[in-house]
């Protein structure tokens, strides 16, 4: 049967959920760029990306004739260079120049560069992005400092980007969804560090723990508006940044010994989980924190 044509009559479902926006293959490719760093990477200035699915072939028609293609808002992040800490930061989807290059490569992308630590600049930059159906909050910073050496600057920047910016960007998107009466999905990229204490990660663990509980509160308050909110909690991700940070076999062994599957995650593992949470396949899932950690949090 050609997709888009009416099919055989079927028994209607009781309390069937309303149609929800679906993430596209183009969104998956963009997520792979957006997640091109380890969870502990140093990021502050976000390149916000608006993604639209490519048009469907005229022979098969649109995936759903009743609604327009969804728009996804992704916050990849860009490097905040602090000494040698960010030496391994990958150069994918980061900064104004590379953002422009990627926009030329993907014609269905629009990019907006803004410092998420700046409330007013973020409000102004995202105020005119238009309707958004899917939001992935991924930008983050990590300052690896012993607890007794934590600085005010590290604390302020970490909470401004890792938590406050999530609140602000999500407010902008959620208000737009509510005003349109449209369903939507928000996915916050958290970390396994939200639920385990890691040496030299006191501020980072604190921000991700706060992000987990924020995700649950958002789910409670936005659920009546048909907006689902979930978080993913990855372990170390084997991006160029992850490879640079965890290339020391002794350091890697200490972490791998705590992962039952005995390996770190690949970007595709995280992207696939995000796409599941953005899709109708998880239409009854909200307020959840989903580990992508090989069993680390089970130990």
Which residues form the catalytic set? 204, 208
242 close to 299: Cβ distance less than 8 angstroms: no
In this structure, the number of other CB atoms found within 10 A of the CB of residue 213 comes to 12
Compute the distance between CA of residue 60 and CA of residue 63 in angstroms, rounded to an integer. 8
Q: Any idea what the Cα angle at residue 243 is, between residues 239 and 246, rounded to 5°? A: 130
The CA distances from residue 243 to 1, 57, 265, in Å, are: 47, 39, 11
Distance of alpha carbon 194 from alpha carbon 19, whole angstroms: 33
Crossing angle (nearest 10°) for helices 267-278 and 25-34: 130
Give the DSSP H or E segment for 50: strand 45-51
Which residues on neighbouring strands pair with residue 289, listed in sequence order?
A: 231
C-alpha angle 186/187/192, rounded to 5°?
Answer: 155
């Amino acid at each position: 049967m050609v997709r888009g044509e009416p099919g055989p009559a079927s028994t209607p479902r009781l309390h069937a959920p309303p149609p929800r926006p679906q993430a596209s293959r183009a969104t998956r490719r963009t997520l792979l760029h957006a997640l091109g760093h380890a969870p502990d990477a140093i990021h502050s200035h976000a390149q916000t990306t608006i993604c639209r699915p490519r048009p469907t072939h005229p022979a098969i028609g649109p995936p759903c004739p009743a609604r327009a293609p969804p728009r996804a808002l992704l916050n990849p992040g860009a490097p905040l260079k602090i000494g040698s800490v960010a030496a391994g930061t990958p150069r994918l989807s980061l900064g104004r120049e590379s953002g422009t290059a990627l926009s030329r490569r993907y014609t269905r992308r629009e990019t907006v560069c803004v410092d998420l630590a700046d409330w007013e600049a973020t409000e102004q930059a995202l105020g005119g992005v238009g309707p958004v159906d899917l939001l992935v909050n991924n930008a983050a910073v990590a300052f690896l400092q012993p607890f007794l050496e934590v600085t005010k600057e590290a604390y302020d920047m970490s909470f401004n980007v890792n938590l406050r910016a999530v609140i602000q960007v999500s407010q902008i998107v959620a208000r737009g969804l509510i005003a349109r009466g449209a369903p939507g999905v928000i996915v916050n990229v958290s970390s396994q560090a939200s639920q385990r204490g890691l040496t030299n990660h006191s501020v980072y663990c604190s921000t991700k723990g706060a992000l987990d509980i924020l995700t649950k509160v958002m789910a409670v308050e936005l659920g009546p508006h048909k907006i689902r909110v979930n978080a993913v909690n990855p372990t170390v991700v084997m991006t160029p940044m992850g490879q640079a940070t965890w290339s020391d076999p002794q350091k890697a062994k200490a972490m791998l010994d705590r992962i039952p599957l005995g390996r770190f995650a690949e970007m595709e593992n995280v992207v696939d989980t995000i796409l599941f949470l953005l899709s109708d396949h998880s239409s009854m899932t909200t307020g959840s924190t989903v580990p992508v950690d090989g069993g680390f949090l089970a130990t």
